[in-house]
Structure 1
Amino acid sequence: MQDSAIFDLSQARVCVIFNRGSGSKDDAEFIEAVTGALEPRAAEFALRRTGEGGNLADLARQAVEDGFDLILAAGGDGTQSAVAGALAGTDAVMGVLPGGTFNYFARDLGVGEELEDALETILEARVHRVDVGQINDLIFLNNVSFGAYPHILKTREGIYRRWGRSRLAAYWSVLVALRRLRRPMRLTARVGGQKRHFSTALVFVARSAYQLESFGLDGAEAIRNGQFAVLVAKAKRPLPLMGSAFRLAFGRSAKDSDFDLILTEELTIETDKPRQLVAHDGEKTLMRAPFHLKVLHDGLQVLLPADGSNKTDGAE
């Protein structure tokens, strides 16, 4: 992460990209709070919104083309990732307005998990450059995964529709999806010219130090130093993988017993199928193998608290 200058909101053209399909927040209340806090302070203010299934990346790219200096992503990690993908490599600065279930990116940055804290950050902020992940042509912020996890997301969507969005529903979807798991995935990981072969139910490529630490897993420091933490589950079948999931939930997982750990800033994954469902920051996409993953160092400009504080300290 590279420090930059204090951000002068009074001189900035500000655009909020609002995802109406994200999280469980009350839309009108959320918009009123954001508009009330930022519109009087910015040189120019606009809010552009989409519904669930709308193209957030297109809205963000249009905001860049329209010359906005600060583009705020209002929503969960999927929203943050879509906006970041449009802003990475441009001169535009990204701000985070968390509105999802887990808000890992907001927690990683330390801008606050609650809207009030995030708005306080934006009002008095510094610009920093942060690393982001890339898989083929797709930018991601927290993680990508293969195998069981994309199917967990599919299951979670059905549970959310029936019972609403909550962390409890998210955890329950893990157990339901793992019970339906049928066969392991065979893959080859190429790292630094060497090949490693695996038969596994799950591969998890992490870019979120906060997420790894919350699970009690190794690799967070490597992430802060600009690498991926690649966790390959040793479990191949539903019951052993469910055991690993329970140990993760209770902070008792150890990489030696449950996962192989690879630390690298670039790798290629080849799978036994030419197309795989890939989970990325809470979303899922059918993608074509092989999968080339690399860390884009200083690839995104974001706003962080000007005083260097971490507004997620003590968050669960």
Structure 2
Amino acid sequence: MTERPLPRSAALIVNAKSRKGRKLYRRAAKRLKAAGITLSASHAVRDPSTLPAIVRREVLAGAPMVIVGGGDGSLSSSVDHLVNHDCVFALLPLGTANSFARTLGIPLDMDGAIEVIAHGRRRRIDLGMIDDDYFANCAAIGMSPLIAESVPHGLKKWLGRPGYLAWAAIKAFRFRPFRLTVGEGETAETLDALEVRIANGRYHGGTELVEAEVDSGQIVVQAVTGRARTRLALSWLLSLLHVRAARWTVREFRDRSLRIATDPPLPISIDGEVLAKTPVIARIARGVIEVAAPA
């Protein structure tokens, strides 16, 4: 079967409150048109809470492709509305970590991302799910929700990823390990954990942490094991340095569906936004959207 080319018409929706969104919105529209993409609609969204509704409206209006510009939270809140629709999801990575773009191999500069939209290919991918909520790349329990709930917006805007990591170091003093149970019944396993990543992709916080692919048909639950906070810092450091020894600090579970519980119950950040609380069912939704991916 011949692969269909990417559409040449699209709706552009940019989170103008993301770290780079307001500055780059007009530039993106101009360069997309120059690359031969006709914009059937164009939105600079000042209130991020309205972005998912705008995406839904454009998909239902029949847009053959929706281009969303923003960070991982904006992208994750958008994907629900493309599930099982004949509409390609394309992205402009304008956030701090840009983990989903990294997982898909999309360049992080605007010209590179537009090159993918104009000359890339369709790729059908899985989405993760936390209960009934779809997500694009990675959910997390532990430090990530603690940071996401409290990080000052200005810190991310002006300092980007270094500022995010500095805030993580500050919040580490409030952090406590927890008991994690993965699975149900006789096959359930309980262990001490410092952080849990529920992954549909390889990147979390802009760092490659998990051996996971967006078209594997499996959800990956990766736990940093132990009770000493220094072990979590070591795990992140080894991962940042791309040292294989980082694998010794984690335990992984893979399946199409896994129940996850913690003692005490803890919040879950989904692609950077705190949206759920344990216990939950994490599962994979196989091949439910098409994205614009590098050729």
TM-based fold match above 0.5: yes
User: 1:211-226 alignment to 2 at 5 Å?
Assistant: 214-215=207-208, 217=209, 219-220=211-212, 225-226=216-217
Superposed displacement of residue 273, structure 1: 4.5
Among candidates 141, 160, 163, match of residue 166 of structure 1: 160
Give the 3 Å change call, closer, same or farther, for CA 177–199 of structure 1 in structure 2.
same
SS in 2 for 1:171: helix
TM-score (norm 1): 0.82
Among candidates 150, 175, 197, match of residue 169 of structure 2: 175
Corresponding residue for residue 109 of structure 1: 104
TM-score (norm 2): 0.87
Among candidates 54, 73, 84, match of residue 59 of structure 1: 54
SS in 2 for 1:139: strand
Q: Does 1:297 align with 2:286?
A: yes
Deviations 1:196-239 (A, max 9, x none): 11232211112222559954x5624x665332332112132433
CA RMSD of superposed structures (Å): 2.8
1:207 maps to a residue whose letter is: N
Give distance in 2, aligned partners of 1:38 and 1:24: 17
Corresponding residue for residue 311 of structure 1: none
1:232 maps to a residue whose letter is: A
Deviations 1:181-203 (A, max 9, x none): 1x322232117972011232211
Give distance in 2, aligned partners of 1:150 and 1:199: 18
Give distance in 2, aligned partners of 1:105 and 1:191: 30
Give the 3 Å change call, closer, same or farther, for CA 256–72 of structure 1 in structure 2.
closer
Give distance in 1, aligned partners of 2:287 and 2:71: 22
Corresponding residue for residue 15 of structure 2: 19
User: 1:112-261 alignment to 2 at 5 Å?
Assistant: 112-157=107-152, 160=155, 164-181=158-175, 183-190=176-183, 194-210=187-203, 214-215=207-208, 217=209, 219-220=211-212, 225-252=216-243, 254=245, 257-261=248-252
Give the 3 Å change call, closer, same or farther, for CA 58–193 of structure 1 in structure 2.
farther
- Answer yes or no: is the 8 Å Cα contact 1:101–1:166 preserved in 2: yes
Which of 52-61 and 110-119 deviates more? Answer: 52-61
- Answer yes or no: is the 8 Å Cα contact 2:70–2:95 preserved in 1: yes
Q: Structure 2: 5+ residue runs without aligned partners? A: none
2:69 maps to a residue whose letter is: A
Deviations 1:57-95 (A, max 9, x none): 111111112221111111111111111122122222111
